[in-house]
Amino acid sequence: MVGKILGAVNIMLWKVCIYSHLAIALHRVLAISFPLKVAGLLTVKNTSFVVLVCWMLSFSHVIQYFFTTCFIFFNTVNWTWSASDECRDFISAFVDFYIPVPVVILIIVLDCITLIRLKVEDNEKKSQSPEGIRSNVAERKKREMEARIYKQVTH
C-alpha cells in the first residue's frame, strides 16, 4: 500500500512540474508580447488560481489509481518503479508519453516565441538613431535585464 501511494505521489508531482512549466512559459510569452496588459493580470489571486489549477489537473491524473487495480507502485525491495500487470501499457503510453509530450512541445513552442519576440525587439532598439538610444537608456537596461532573466530561466 505504501508503494502504491508513493507511485501516485510520484505521478502527481511529475504532472505538477509539467503544468507549472507550461504556466511559466505562457506567462513569459504574454509578458514579452503584452507587457502593459499582463501587469494588471499578475495578482496574487490570479497566480494562486493558476497554481491551484496545476495541482488539480495533476491530482486528476492520479485519483483513478486509488480506486482501481491499475496503478504504479514503488517496489521497496529492489527500489524500482513498477506498474500493475493489468495496465502496464496504459500507464507507459498515456501517463508517460501521450500526456506530457504534447505539453512539453507546447512549452518549447512558447519559449521559442518568447525568444523570437526578444530578438525582434532588441533589433528594433538597436536600429534606432543615437539620440533615441541615449534617451532610452533606462528602457534598454531594463530590456537587457529581462533578456538575462530569460536566459537564466530557460537554460
- In CATH terms, 2-154 corresponds, of 1.20.1070.10, 1.25.10.10, 3.40.1390.30, 3.30.450.40, to 1.20.1070.10
Q: What is the pLDDT of residues 70-104, one digit of tens each?
A: 777 777 788 877 777 777 777 767 777 888 899 99
pLDDT of the residue at 20: 95
Q: What is the pLDDT of residues 105-133, one digit of tens each?
A: 999 999 999 989 888 877 777 676 555 55
Instruction: Give me the residue spans of the domains in the chain.
Output: 2-154
pLDDT of the residue at 87: 74
Alpha helices by DSSP H, listed for the chain, are 2-33, 35-41, 44-62, 88-90, 100-126, 130-135, 137-154
pLDDT of the residue at 37: 83
Residue whose C-alpha cell reads 494562486 in the numeric block: 48
Q: What is the pLDDT of residues 20-54, one digit of tens each?
A: 999 999 998 998 888 888 878 888 899 999 999 99
pLDDT of the residue at 9: 86
pLDDT of the residue at 110: 95
pLDDT of the residue at 136: 66
pLDDT of the residue at 104: 94
